[in-house]
A and B are shown apart, each in its own frame.
Chain A
């Protein structure tokens, strides 16, 4: 409280109010009530002959220390320590869109996504038609981009530019004459969402895309969205289970309802709702992705080390099966994810600590494991021949390997105080578009290259 110096009274009060507002246990109306008290006290003291600044000091002192005060408030309102999801905008941040309008827009978009997934059914396409798999991301991602365009108040021109990747995606997903049960068709279904996620990122950030911290925000957003989506999905599973159980109790089969409507429509709408919740709660709930990262980084490090030790001890080679390459790709994706989300929650200026060492150990052991697997696969690649799946998996492995090798190098430099953590962060987020570009390559070039097999 020593910073109140000689400011005019109103400014001193404003500053004090700011201190009060920062307390989590004290809500807006409480601050107002306390301020009213302070003002009454001030008026009485000034009337008694004190100068304004003296009166202020006395009144603040009588109010008591904010620490004790907020502790008492927390005891009276213990629920406030559990941050609540309040869907009211911070008036300072978003003056244009009121919370009510946003709720309406989100609901419309969610319903639109739910209806979009059913629209092809009007033309007789069943949900198990490959058309759905190829186009799954196109039902909802454009609407998600639309939501961000609306939320950020983007102009029509920006919207038209952003429509381009989605239109291109729709074209490439549907013009190729895929053969029956073709591999390249599956690759398209898997890679199109990754490619288009970049466009969603542009809608999310627009010009801030080119600022590094902006892209990190999109990484945070994506991680939280995945977690929210999984949680909503769990709730949806319970809802579906109850639907089936209750209608079975009256001897009706609700399978068609669950399979044809609840699950597909819910899966689409949940993306929009999840994005909205992530946007609304940014500061409300602790970000979960970094917490999970902290939890699982040591566990995965132990797993990899034990695996390597077992391999060295028993001398068992990697049994090169068809899916083994994809398995190791996923391992690298996971490690990159752990590195990325650890970076997203880290204070860039902080000194290296034990956790950073652990991260380096994780990355290096993942590299060793992947190197052994690649060597085993390379030895037999002539035997396999080049199929679209293998080329895609190899390409991904290479991309992730490059990322991790350089990350390990930067980590090592950081641990030896040679470079800053910011370099690693820059590398990670600078690398993000590479994934989407590769995915786009797989979608656009692979089908004709491999004759739509």
Chain B
């Protein structure tokens, strides 16, 4: 599905944080998980994930560490921090408000 850029940008932060809340991960695996969770509906341009991750790292929401992966190459692993969990919770409430509001109006549209 073609999503608007703004929506993708806005949803990237909570999505990444939520995936990292499931467990530490790295770029490629996060993308795979997004595809899997959305049933292939949500597709990012892969490279765009990294600026998002770096911004979160800079804000202190995630911490990064280089370690050696199973294929012998260096890989940067990301972990959610306490601040990141707090931000995730806040974002979750905000998205629920948006979601609830839209749901309400669309339900009405359906029943009207």
Contact = CB atoms under 8 A, between A and B. Distances in A.
A24 to B, nearest CB: 14
Contacts of B26: 36
B93 interface: no
Contact of A36 (B31, B45, B73): B73
Contacts, number: 61
Interface string A383-422: 0000000000000000000000000000000000000000
Contact of B58 (A32, A37, A76): A76
A36 B74 contact: yes
Contact of A37 (B27, B54, B66, B74): B27
Contacts of A43: 71
B28 A64 contact: no
A124 B51 CA distance: 64
B46 A36 contact: no
Nearest to B49: A37
A36 B51 CA distance: 15
Interface string A24-55: 00000110111011011101000000000000
A61 to B, nearest CB: 9
Interface in B27-54: 27-28, 31, 45-48, 50-52, 54
B45 A33 contact: no
Contact of B45 (A30, A40, A62, A76): A62
Contacts of B28: 36-37, 40-41
B59 to A, nearest CB: 10
B54 A36 contact: no
Given A36-B28, A41-B28, A77-B54, A72 B48 contact: yes
Interface string A59-100: 000111000110011011100000000000000000000000
A21 to B, nearest CB: 15
Contact of B47 (A32, A34, A40): A34
Contact of A30 (B50, B52, B73): B50
A73 B54 contact: yes
B76 A33 contact: yes
B55 interface: yes
Contacts of B51: 69, 72-73, 75-76
Given A29-B76, A41-B28, A76-B58, A34 B50 contact: yes
Contacts of A34: 47, 50
B46 A62 contact: yes
A221 B20 CA distance: 50
A41 B28 CA distance: 7
B54 A69 contact: no
Contacts of A63: 45-47
A69 B75 contact: no
Residues of B contacting A: mostly: helix
Contacts of A32: 74
B102 to A, nearest CB: 28
Contacts of A29: 66, 76
A37 B46 contact: yes
Nearest to B26: A36
B73 A64 contact: no
A40 B58 CA distance: 25
A245 to B, nearest CB: 39
Contacts of A75: 51
A36 B53 CA distance: 15
B74 A76 contact: no
B73 A39 contact: yes
A69 B73 contact: no
A63 B51 CA distance: 12
B11 to A, nearest CB: 16
A242 to B, nearest CB: 34
Interface in B58-77: 58, 66, 69, 71, 73-76
Contacts of B48: 64, 68-69, 72
B27 A64 contact: no
Interface string B6-38: 000000000000000000001110010000000
A43 B47 CA distance: 17
Contacts of A30: 50, 54
A64 B54 contact: no
A40 B46 CA distance: 12
A33 B26 CA distance: 9
A45 to B, nearest CB: 12
Residue among A29, A69, A72, A77 with max Cβ neighbours from chain B (10 Å): A72
B45 A68 contact: yes
A37 B53 CA distance: 14
A37 B76 CA distance: 10
Given A29-B76, A69-B47, 14 more contacts: A29-B66, A36-B26, A36-B76, A37-B27, A40-B28, A41-B28, A63-B46, A63-B47, A64-B48, A68-B45, A69-B51, A73-B50, A76-B52, A76-B55
7 contacts: A29-B66, A33-B75, A36-B69, A63-B45, A73-B50, A76-B51, A76-B55
Interface of B: 26-28, 31, 45-48, 50-52, 54-55, 58, 66, 69, 71, 73-76
